[in-house]
């Protein structure tokens, strides 16, 4: 029997006089709300900031300080903001606008990109994996694989040029950051680039749309999860909602305007043998404004088998804590299941 199609949250939120969310969207009940640190009120704390310009053109001293900052941010937080990254502000505006226009296409136009399989290069839909979920998230999405092979929906007009330009610029920043992170692990700066075959890195852009929700305290935009890949680079339309899990608490991310919000992914945890843990994060919704975020996941090449870096295992004195798995296979496993914490990592933990 064909699965029942779940309509977009955008369509739902556009209904006049929507005062309640349908029961299928109730993620939290008042009895599970604010119960302890797992679901408690999010706090505000200063989050690590990395000045990218010092990594690329600072003095040797400044550079080594940034490498240290990166190591600290990856080890203690799994999250940091990147400022002075050199990606043109106009380009960032255009990609946000282009993704907004994609969500504004008619349902019929968008249905061309629904996708049948989780590894289809272009997919749009609602929630995370509506075919296996009982509770839906207050989120619509567009996912596009942009590297090593470039794909793009052919609407809206000129979207594909902006998509290509933006994701290429992000790849440049990611490669330099990974060079710094490689050094922070005591490796040569090109080490990760080489063993992960970053020339053919798999890069996926995901646009997330969170329309205003009449009962934001009951719904969830994206539940707690970790990302596949090495680094996820996120921007948003000026509206907050991202929270990260830090030392047992949820921390609200108050973004520095123009900064990239960067989090470590599962494959960073695997290759660093657990030193740089993949951070849990979630997106909450609000009842006033549509929030949009664009996350770009950056992984190794699809064929790379990711396992802990040999040099970090210190000749057997520190045993590998993860088995190797091909990145493409891990991705398929993660995308085919429900979004549930970092449960996919358990499949490769020894
Ligand atoms: O919208 C956000 O802030 C988070 C999005 C996210 O976690 C993702 O796309 O993986
Ligand atoms: Fe995420």
* Confidence band, pLDDT 50/70/90 cuts, at residue 4: low
Q: Which residues line ligand 1 (CB under 6 A)?
A: 206, 208, 222, 227, 234, 241-242, 281, 283, 293, 295
Distance from Cα 311 to the centre of ligand 1, integer Å: 32
The C-alpha atoms of residue 333 and residue 328 are separated, in whole angstroms, by 9
Instruction: Write the residue with the smallest CA distance to atom 3 of ligand 1.
Output: 242
What is each CA distance from 32 to 27, 218, 224, 255, in whole angstroms?
A: 9, 10, 15, 28
* φ, ψ at 134 (rounded to 5°): -100, -30
pTM (2 decimals)? Answer: 0.94
Distance from Cα 225 to the centre of ligand 2, integer Å: 6
pLDDT of residue 132: 75
Which atom from ligand 1 is nearest to the alpha carbon of 227? 10
Burial track 130-139 (b if 16+ CB lie within 10 A, e otherwise): eeebeebbbb
> Cβ(55)–Cβ(66) under 8 Å?
yes
Q: pLDDT for 237-260, tens place per residue?
A: 999 999 999 999 999 999 999 999
Instruction: Write the residue with the smallest CA distance to atom 4 of ligand 1.
Output: 283
Beta strands (DSSP E) in 229-344 are 231-236, 242-246, 249-252, 260-264, 281-283, 291-298, 305-306, 325-326
Q: What are the extents of the domains in the chain?
A: 47-347
pLDDT of residue 40: 61
- Look at the chain and count its residues: 350
Q: What is the mean pLDDT of residues 129-150?
A: 90
pLDDT at residue 348 is higher than 50 = yes
In CATH terms, the superfamily for domain 47-347 is B-lactam Antibiotic, Isopenicillin N Synthase; Chain (2.60.120.330)
What is each CA distance from 174 to 87, 100, 157, 180, 229, in whole angstroms?
A: 12, 24, 28, 10, 12
């Amino acid at each position: 029997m064909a699965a029942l199609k779940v309509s977009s949250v955008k369509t739902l939120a556009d209904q006049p006089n929507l005062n309640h969310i349908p029961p299928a969207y109730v993620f939290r009940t008042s009895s599970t709300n604010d119960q302890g640190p797992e679901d408690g009120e999010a706090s505000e704390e200063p989050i690590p900031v990395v000045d990218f310009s010092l990594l690329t053109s600072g003095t040797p001293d400044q550079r080594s300080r940034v490498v240290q900052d990166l190591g600290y941010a990856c080890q203690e937080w799994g999250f940091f903001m990147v400022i002075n990254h050199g990606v043109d502000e106009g380009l960032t505006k255009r990609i946000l606008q282009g993704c907004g226009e994609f969500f504004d296409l008619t349902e019929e136009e968008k249905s061309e990109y629904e996708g049948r399989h989780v590894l289809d290069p272009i997919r749009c839909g609602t929630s995370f994996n509506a075919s296996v979920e009982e509770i839906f998230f207050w989120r619509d999405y567009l996912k596009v694989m942009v590297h090593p092979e470039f794909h793009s929906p052919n609407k809206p007009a000129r979207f594909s040029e902006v998509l290509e330009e933006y994701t290429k610029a992000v790849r440049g920043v990611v490669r330099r950051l990974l060079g710094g992170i490689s050094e922070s692990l005591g490796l040569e700066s090109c080490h990760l680039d080489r063993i992960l075959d970053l020339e053919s890195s798999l890069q996926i852009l995901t646009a997330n749309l969170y329309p205003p929700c009449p009962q934001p305290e009951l719904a969830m935009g994206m539940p707690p999860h970790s990302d596949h890949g090495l680094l996820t680079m996120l921007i948003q339309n000026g509206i907050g909602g991202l929270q990260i899990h830090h030392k047992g608490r949820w921390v609200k991310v108050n973004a520095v305007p123009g900064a990239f919000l960067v989090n470590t992914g599962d494959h960073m945890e695997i290759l660093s043998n657990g030193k740089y843990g993949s951070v849990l994060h979630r997106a909450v919704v609000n009842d006033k404004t549509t929030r949009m975020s664009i996350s770009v996941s950056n992984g190794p090449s699809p064929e790379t088998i990711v396992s802990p870096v040999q040099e970090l295992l210190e000749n057997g004195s520190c045993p590998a804590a993860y088995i190797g798995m091909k990145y493409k296979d891990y991705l398929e496993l993660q995308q085919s299941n429900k979004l549930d914490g970092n449960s996919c990592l358990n499949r490769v933990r020894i």
